[in-house]
Amino acid sequence: MSTGSHGVVGGVRIDLNRLHETWMELVYPRQRNANDTVLGTWTPDSATGLALYRLWSALGVPVIALVYPLVLCGVVLRYQTRRIDGTATRLGVVGVILLSVLVWGGLAALARFEPGSIDLVSGGFTAVAVAGGVATLSAALAVTFRRVGGRGTTVALAYPFAMTAIFLPPVVAALYSTTVASVVIPASDSLSRWFLYEVLAAVGVAEFFIENFEREGIAYVIIWLGISIPLGWVLGLLVTLADFVRPTE
């Protein structure tokens, strides 16, 4: 049920109550949406059980305080993704492919016949063409997995491919154009160094990557795949959390 008719404060109250009921149901039966049922919300009969029940309830407060901002983030992301999803649904897989081919084909034509118009001096046509191919394939796979699978497939595959369609084309283009590379590669280097020394070093695996991988060529593609795929999972999980706490129907 949507909380739009309850106002902002009422909607937040409903969200928090639903989260707290879910927290309680991790341990105790008949907690979520049980107030309006015949049996009502279950509570322990003994004094000790009731004390533990209240303790578990209190422990849920800081957990909910940490989780609820993620719910709100998921609500915002859900609104944006539903708009994009609606457009993709109306276009269909074939329509998405044709639209992507039209856009990227136009850019490739500009790079081929009017290279100065999009400021790609070295390898411009090849860079745009390959980037367009990657974007088109990723977008088509994202729409396909969104349509053929359930929520699990959408989160596991559709969202990552959608993020890949956004992040990977510039990196692929950088392999073919020195102009694009002059922008993308330094940014990728900075990001990879931060991830290597701040994240991987903290878990003790930085040395393995330093000794076995060079940051050049296809390695940059792998780096951005390693970013776009988990980012897609995170976005998908946030939207799923929003659907769970604040369903739209």
The string of pLDDT tens digits covering residues 98-149 is 888 888 777 777 766 655 544 444 555 677 777 888 888 888 888 888 888 7
pLDDT for 92: 82
Q: What is the DSSP string of the chain?
A: ---GGGHHHHHHHHHHHHHHHHHHHTTSSS-TT-TTSSS-S---SSHHHHHHHHHHHHHHHHHHHHHHHHHHHHHHHHHHHHHHHHHHHHHHHHHHHHHHHHHHHHHHHHHHH-GGGTT--SSHHHHHHHHHHHHHHHHHHHHHHHHHS-HHHIIIIIHHHHHHHHHHHHHHHHTT-HHHHHHHHHHHHHHHHHIIIIIIGGGT-HHHHHHH--SSTHHHHHHHHHHHHHHHHHHHHHHHHHHHHS---
So what's the pLDDT on residue 117? 45
Give the per-residue pLDDT at 1. 43
pLDDT digits (tens, 9 = 90+) for 46-55: 888 899 999 9
pLDDT at position 191: 81
Please give the model's pTM, rounded to 2 decimal places: 0.77
What is the overall mean pLDDT for the chain?
Answer: 81
Low-confidence ranges of the chain (pLDDT < 70): 1-7, 111-125, 217, 249
pLDDT reported for residue 67: 92
